[in-house]
Amino acid sequence: MTNLYEQQKRNIANTRLFITGFVLLLVFLGLSADGMLYAGGFSPGLPIATLGALCVGGMSAWWSLHGGDRAVLESTRAAPLDPSDPPQRVLDNVVEEMAIASGLPKPAVYVIPDADPNAFATGTGPEKSSIAVTRGLLDKLDRDELQAVVSHEMSHVRNFDVRLMTVVAALAGAILLLSDWGRRGFGWGLGRRRDSKAGGGIAGLLFAFVWIVSILLAPFVAQLVAMAVSRQREYLADASGAQLTRNPLALASALEKIAAEKGPTPSIKQGVAHLCIEDPRGGTLEQKDGWFANLFATHPPMAKRIALLREMAYQPASPTQK
Amino acid sequence: MGAIGGCLLILVIGAIFCAIWAIWRYNGLIGLRNQVANAWKQIDVQLKRRHDLIPNLVSAVKGEMQFEQDTLEKVIQARNSAVAARGVADAAEKENALTQTLSRLFALAENYPQLKANESVRALMEELSSTENRIGFARQFYNDIATRFNTAQQVFPDNLIAQTFKFQTVELFEIKDAAERAVPKVDLSIRPQPGA
């Protein structure tokens, strides 16, 4: 138990660390733009680009923490659970059971009209969270497996992963937006400079170089960080989910069934990928191991997750292996 | 300010730190004790839910399970005596008997496919088996939180605080002897351990 509470604390500390990192990235983007402006002979007295970048980042983080979960749910066309439908009634019961097992308030439950099995959790922490599963998950999994998937999502809530991922996604989005503006602005700036012939000399060239590099690299770095955070959280959610149900094999067989459905989950947009139990893009990245897959996948390889869960139940890594 | 003054200053600072630490640990123990009490109440809530569901289920299956009147009778009896139970140890015993008669009823119901076809019976069965799960998970959570509470009282130096303010360890649910392992039986009582 203790290491779970340590994990929670570390997660809260990590949230601060990642936010600091992203803020520094924003400041860097802003400063290099200000440098460009200054070298180009345009000096308003205040570092307006830096202030603007921080404003955009702050607003998107604030917005994601106040209503970002609702936007995510709406983007997937998730509908509130209908208790008169028997399979949804089972889901409602299973969520209640897992809330009791984790000692947390029961999250709001949503169903996504999509045939591909998948699930995600969102919200800002245990006090305000939602769990959404696809119709396909309800149809394809038995009660124990459904319970296991919900326990995984409940763990994301309990470990404060939902808040970490919400903020990380919002800041990565802000950086993407800013560097997009930066690229457009650069084209416009080049056009103007050719007209005016007011060169900034070596300093101007240097700032231009730094700026190009940063607007090209920033979204890439932001994306990599977001993915690394996401992958790291998945193993922990699998393990602490199994701790809730004391039934790691049910989660292993649920993951096997989910992985067997190769198709993507069309209702779930790419921006929500890192929140899901399986990558909804239906790619092959998470079937592979190695540095490339490790860099770009939002989720660790499925085979590795299943093997770890089977290990918890003292079973061989795969059913065929004796 | 001489050497004596310096020593006094160090002593005062040390005493302040000790007091802050003691308050912090004391509040931690109080928080855990309340969590344990809350986890305990959660079990009660689920047991109550089970009592409320059983009469509905029995009246729904009575028609189809005519040859199992004996079992149905036993379930109702076990339920009524569990509702009427006085005291924690008594309740534990009665609830346990109820769990056993219920699992017999569930096993017998497997022989009646027409029951499974009945929408309302199926819904009631789902509610009741979910309640059984909830009771199990509520006990599991109680055990987890009670273990944390007990450990917090026993580790050094927190045990000094626990002893000074007479905190008592709580008992966990456990299976008492080998013969009962086949059907889990639980002790619902919170009693101080002899040594504490």
pLDDT at A271: 64
The answer to whether residue A96 is catalytic is: no
* Average pLDDT value over all residues in chain B: 82
What is the ipTM for the molecules in this complex?
Answer: 0.76
- Which candidate in A96, A127, A145, A153 is catalytic? A153
Q: Do residues B97 and B131 make contact, with C-beta atoms less than 8 angstroms apart?
A: no
The C-alpha atoms of residue A123 and residue A162 are separated, in whole angstroms, by: 6
- Taking CB atoms and an 8 Å limit, are A246 and B140 in contact across chains? yes
**Which residues does chain B have within 8 Å of residue A96's beta carbon, measured at their own beta carbons?**
130, 134
For residues A99 and A190, give the distance between their C-alpha atoms in angstroms, rounded to a whole number.
Answer: 57
**pTM, 2 dp:** 0.78
Q: Give the least confident one: A77-81, A291-295, B20-24, B105-109.
A: A291-295
Range from A87-96, A256-265, B83-92 that averages highest in pLDDT: A87-96
Interface with A, mutate which of B34, B129, B130, B173 (most A CBs under 10 A):
B130
Nearest-CA residue of chain B relative to A86? Answer: B123
Residue A91 has pLDDT above 70, yes or no: yes
In this structure, are residues A150 and A94 in contact, taking their beta carbons and an 8 Å threshold? yes
Inter-chain CB proximity A1 and B144 less than 8 Å: yes
pLDDT band at A198 (very low <50, low <70, confident <90, very high): very low
B192 — pLDDT class (breaks 50, 70, 90)? very low
State the residue for tokens 């039934």.
A247
Chain B neighbors of A94, CB-CB under 8 A: 130
Tokens of B76: 């109702």
A141 φ, ψ to 5°?
A: -100, 150
Question: Mean pLDDT, chain A, as a whole number?
Answer: 79
Determine contact, residues B171/B190, Cβ cutoff 8 Å. Answer: yes
Instruction: Give the pLDDT mean for B167-190.
Output: 57
CA A101 to chain CA mean position, Å = 25
pLDDT at A3 over 60: no
Q: What is the DSSP string of A278-313?
A: S-TT--SGGG--SHHHHHH-SS--HHHHHHHHHHHT
Q: Please determine, for residue B35, whether its predicted confidence score (pLDDT) is greater than 80.
A: yes
Alpha-carbon span A223 to A313, nearest angstrom = 35
Q: How confident is the model at residue A29 (pLDDT cuts 50, 70, 90)?
A: confident
Amino acid letter, A289:
D
Q: Which residues lie closer than 8 Å to A271 by C-beta, 6 or more apart?
A: A72, A75, A169, A173
Q: Which residues of B touch A95 (CB under 8 A)?
A: none
pLDDT band at A170 (very low <50, low <70, confident <90, very high): confident
